[in-house]
Amino acid sequence: MLPTRSSDVLVLGGGIIGLVTAWRAAQRGFATAVVDPEPGGGAAQVAAGMLAAVTELHYGEQTLLGLNLASARRYPEFAAELTDLTGQDLGYRQCGTLAVALDADDRAHLRELHALQRESGLDSEWLSGRDCRRLEPMLAPGVRGGLRVDGDHQIDPRSLARALVTACELEGVVFHRVWAAGLSVVQGRAAGCVTEDGTVLPAGQVVLAAGSLSGRLAGVPKDVLPPVRPVKGQVLRLSMPRRHAPFLSRTVRAMVRGSHVYLVPRENGELVVGATSEEQGWDTTVTAGGVYELLRDAHELMPGITELPLTETRAGLRPGSPDNAPLLGPTELDGLLLATGHYRNGVLLTPVTGDALAHALATGELIDEARPFSPKRFAVLEQRV
């Protein structure tokens, strides 16, 4: 089949990471195209949309914290720009988050998280169980204490994905609604892709942004293929009553018997409950066990939840990487860049990923905040072993 017209930038994957990359690239004047059968789909259709740089801090992930905070700082302006451009509401709520403890073990764990947050210079306030319930009266009476983090917000990832598709369209991004079957490499340089229907799409530079599928694209040299794997997350959606007093006014999360559970209340009355974390390969089945565990843990946190209509159950795949951090920017293969491996932070990292990839496409360099996340860090590790 004859090749179609060449793009400057071809983005493989039209989830929120691919879309923000395409949008920002097109804004810089690159002729940009996206290859995806369903732009705006993927993990964003499942994700709750917590922007939780502070409450999702983990030991050993302080470098990632820097990138998470860089993206959190960009969010207000990013959301305003996208809303102004598209006229679409993104469900961006600066509502804060409350992380609570249900027993002595959870409380000790939260105390440690609080210490780590303070060492890292982050704002969070320790509250007694009574103060937690004063903030959120529907919480279980047994709540033993919690952390109030007013800087961790939320956005509706489905609205974000829709708006990014519109923003791309407005910037002239071309959509090829088909799967990419393989990368084209010509004389040692990424030169485009071949789609599932055999169409050749030539390009000056290619960005692989296909979430957990990024590690499977044919034609990518083995030492350049990103080490990402799917990590399944099951998520529920419920509907809150529209009463005078809100059922829940901010995101509430807890660790229950070692599993994370979070409740994210949207302004439109939707309550998102997430999420399981399962190493199950490519399976996206919603299981009775997954739904049971989420409802059981959410019920321990907020007993009133069992009264709410259950409107949706769904599973998605997080693109996990060996160090839980994304792979951003140029690879060892000329012309091929990566934007994948965002794991639990894809929605949060959307703004900084767009900026980092657009800069890398224009200059070949990463912005300072993104430098530690070059895909080349794994190539170096491989050479050492």
Which parts of this chain interact with ligand GLY (CB under 6 A)? 50, 233, 274-275, 318, 344
- 8 Å CB contact between 265 and 138: no
Start-to-end CA span in the chain (Å): 43
Report the nearest approach of ligand GLY to the CB of residue 344 (Å): 3
Rounded to a whole number of angstroms, the minimum distance from the CB of residue 160 to ligand GLY is 14
Between residues 233 and 354, which has the closer beta carbon with respect to ligand GLY? 233
What does the block give as tokens for 299? 């019920």
Contact predicate 367/33, CB 8 Å: no
Omega before residue 99 within 30° of 0, cis: no
Least separation, in Å, of the C-beta of 353 and ligand GLY?
Answer: 15
CB-closest chain residue to ligand GLY: 344
Task: Report whether 92 contacts 140 (CB < 8 A).
Answer: no
* Interatomic CA distance for residues 255 and 111, integer angstroms: 13
Residue 294: strand, helix, or coil: helix
Indicate the residue among 127 and 231 with the shorter CB distance to ligand GLY: 231
Contact 189, 333 (CB under 8 A): yes
110 or 191, CB closer to ligand GLY?
110
Whole-angstrom distance, CA of residue 374 vs CA of residue 171: 27
Cβ atoms of 176 and 197 within 8 Å: the answer is no
What residues does 253 pair with on adjacent strands?
Answer: 99, 262
Single out the residue of 99, 203, 100, 346 nearest to residue 195, CA to CA: 203
Q: Minimum CB separation from ligand GLY for residue 275, in Å?
A: 4
In sequence order, which residues have a C-beta less than 8 Å from that of residue 112 and are 6 or more positions away? none
Nearer to ligand GLY, 55 or 124 (CB): 55
Is residue 269 within 8 Å of 246, Cβ to Cβ?
A: no
| Least CB distance to ligand GLY at residue 214 (A) | 17
CB nearer ligand GLY, residue 197 or residue 312: 312
- Least distance (Å) from ligand GLY to the CB of residue 346? 8
Q: In angstroms, give the least distance from the CB of 65 to ligand GLY.
A: 14
Least Cβ distance, residue 218 to ligand GLY (angstroms): 28
CA 326/CA 27 separation, integer angstroms:
23
Nearer to ligand GLY, 33 or 317 (CB): 317
CB 356 within 8 A of CB 328: yes
Residue 149 or 358 with smaller CB distance to ligand GLY: 149
Q: Least CB distance from residue 48 to ligand GLY, whole Å? A: 6
Whichever of 91 and 274 has its CB closer to ligand GLY, that residue is 274
Pick the closer one to ligand GLY by CB: 148 or 260.
260
Nearer to ligand GLY, 12 or 275 (CB): 275
- 77: nearest Cα among 307, 375, 342, 350: 350
Residue 183 C-beta: closest distance to ligand GLY, Å = 28
**Cβ neighbours of residue 313 under 8 Å, at least 6 residues apart?**
234, 235, 236, 237, 286, 291
